[in-house]
Chains A and B, each alone.
Chain A
Amino acid sequence: MATPTDSTAAAGAKPFDIVATYNELLRSDPDLTMPIAAIEALVLLLTHEPSSTISETLDLLAKSTAHLKKAIPNPIGLSAGTDLFQRYLITTLQRPGQLGPAGDFKAIRTHLLSNGRLFIRRAKESREKIVAFGRGFIRDGCTVLTNGGSRAVASLLQQAADEEGGPSAVRFKVIYVLSSISKDIEGPSGEPEGMETVRALRAKGVPVSTIPESAVAYALGKADMVIVGAEGVVENGGIVSRMGTYQIGLLAKAIGKPFYVVAESHKFVRLYPLGQYDLPIEQHVVDFKTEEDIAQKSKQQAVDSNADSPVELPLEDSVDFTPPHLISALITDSGVLTPSAVSEELIKIWF
């Protein structure tokens, strides 16, 4: 089979490392979302590991997925991708037809392997679909409050700004909440997440105001709606998103402003968190310590600075969970959904 990827040549050289592949994929394309990167990594895995039977393939997928999930500090977004891939494989195999049990297992394998690029393209197209559905939300003269570095939100806002000169002129303003925890302080940019979008919007002539997280309650009175992105959309319709989204949701509810979530439907993940501390993530946002603990920790770090410690989500990447009752609607590529519609989409693929 012919694969469009160039990595097949290096296949024989060293064993395939799914974690490295996943990270490399995310790094190489800033527009790639975590679930799609995970699907891509699995596709590449299949090209490297020749497996001819169904159960062999499924077993390989399950093992690699578990490995990948363990190695990545925040596996929520990624597990949406791996689950989708696995379910797709199983459902296609069960369905009567050319790709089903009667047909050739190789056919479905070839389809998956040769269409890796197609999946990425479709994922990016789904963002355009979201923009089409979400266009109606940004009305003339409105002010949008947003946060984080969601690409879906950025493309929605930029698309709305692009049409400014056009026949359907929309003049809107944006309040951008910038995180006080800078993502890469020592990096060359050293600027908070989202600055890129802010610059792009300002270049298009959209007035943007940047505010710190502490000013959200103050600024919300001037906003007409809140639009945020999400890392994962969970079963009950709540979202897992950048730290600070939950408080914006609470404030928006208290002030009575609509709170919209923009997310691609491949981010729907089969997870039912009961609260903030029920996420399958190691993150120490609330970290109690005394003077003594700090001293002990720094001593310990000096001893084993490069020892293998369990993966922990760094503070700047920390996430929180926004429960569904705070969300007015989800703008996805399959339409504008109420939070309760998410479970149905998930049921469709799982049962």
Chain B
Amino acid sequence: MPSTALALTPGLSSFLKSLKTNPIDTSIENLVSLLKRRQIRHSRSCATATAYLLLRVVSACRTSESTKLIERVQSVGRRLMAAQPREMVVGNIVRRVLGLIRDEAEDDREAEFALSEAGSESQPQTPRAFDDASMPLDRDMLGMRSDGGDRSSRPPLTSMFSLLSHPEPENSLPSTPGSQSPNARLFSHGHTKDVRAEVLEGINEIIDELGQVDDQIAAYALDHIHSNEIILTHTSSTTVQKFLLKAAAKRKFTVIIAESFPNNHEATHATVSGNIVGDDENLSFDSFQKPLIAHGITVILIPDSAVFALMSRVNKVILGTHSVLANGGLVAAAGTRVIARAAKVHQTPVVVVSGVYKLSPVYPFDFDSLIEYGDASKVLPFEDGDLVDKIDVQNPIYDYVPAELVDLYITNLGGHAPSYLYRIVSDHYRKEDISF
């Protein structure tokens, strides 16, 4: 009986299974309702579901124009984001796919331009070569660099020069769908199939990246965790666990885990003891992993209230996150801010590990709107029914941690200062997609 129940539980795996058979519109509906009901809830699961859905959308979108493709992805993206505005990774993935389409459309136009002006010097068509590279990490790094190179050799479009620049090049910019000239359509005509194929390939790379991101982050572990250090962490974040495990293979250190009651304590206990219950979403990642104690690491589980008392002994705080914002602040599991604040008081370095896909170009205008509130019965169970009427019980799931409490971000691209994140944002998302 439990096995069938497991199979029927709506979640990431059931969604991915149904994606192949269901028609597109049903799948979109399906994901929207899954997001609304919070049946898909971890950042990575949301990102993966979004990426696979967009893969289907793009491949089913039989259009010859990149503008149409962009519109289609935008409309799907808007529905997904409206379904769960606090799950920012959904928007991030949609924006990256939009950026992919725009890049490909522009590349095509440039290639066409170079062809028509055969003989005259033109930009080397580098990006396509990079798309063929198999390692997503390499591709990302190189892709970034080639981007930068392009920007300096091309007229810098978004720079301070825009004030003085010649009006003509600006008009030919494919910045808005409205300004797409008939020329553009003409150019992209010959390359239609190419654009879609390239975009699909790009989305597949995003999916690959989502699968590998934790291992890539973990590769930096030995640079940051040294022998005999005392590390404090929080929740059962997979990224953090993998990071610690990587270091544990070579070094001996002590890990203190705050249990993060009441929303994540069961999972945290399971991570510490190593008997992870078969949660279908985490099945592929965690169940084959040996716990830290099996590597001979001393693991101390503490209640959240003991964080400040122990902080004076801690050498480093390593935190996972829900999403990272453009100003360097982050939204993470409730209790994170207390830890970051305590670390600040003791001048303990705070390191946040997060995949680039969690990095959102959204600026947090209103911190309160980012915080999600969860099941109040976890704080005050319904057995205390007579109390429930008399007091107001709240159970915030997330905390907003301002940028000044974080010392270092480690992403799959390396370590960055919080003040540098804007740069990674501008490398990964197009300006015109930030608010769509």
Contact = CB atoms under 8 A, between A and B. Distances in A.
A45 B345 CA distance: 58
B159 A349 contact: yes
A70 interface: no
Given A88-B161, A338-B419, A340-B420, A349 B363 contact: no
B414 interface: no
A88 B156 contact: no
A351 to B, nearest CB: 9
A344 B423 contact: yes
User: Interface on chain A toward B: helix, strand, loop, or mixed SS?
Assistant: helix
Contacts of A251: none
A122 to B, nearest CB: 5
Contacts of B326: 336
Interface residues of A, number: 38
A346 B159 CA distance: 9
A337 B166 contact: no
Given A119-B164, A338-B327, A96 B121 contact: yes
Nearest to A43: B164
Interface string A112-155: 10010011001100100000000011010000000000000000
A126 B156 contact: no
A268 interface: yes
A99 B166 contact: yes
Contacts of B158: 334
Interface residues of B, number: 27
Contact of A345 (B155, B159, B363, B420): B159
A337 B423 CA distance: 10
A336 B328 CA distance: 12
B160 A84 contact: yes
A268 B165 CA distance: 17
Contacts of B423: 341, 344
B114 to A, nearest CB: 13
Contacts of A328: 327
16 contacts: A84-B164, A88-B164, A95-B155, A99-B166, A119-B163, A119-B164, A136-B366, A336-B326, A338-B327, A338-B328, A338-B419, A340-B419, A340-B420, A344-B423, A346-B160, A348-B160
Interface of B: 121, 151-152, 155-156, 158-167, 326-328, 363, 365-366, 419-420, 422-423, 431, 434
Interface of A: 39, 84-85, 87-88, 91, 95-96, 99, 111-112, 115, 118-119, 122-123, 126, 136-137, 139, 265-266, 268, 328-329, 334-341, 344-346, 348-349
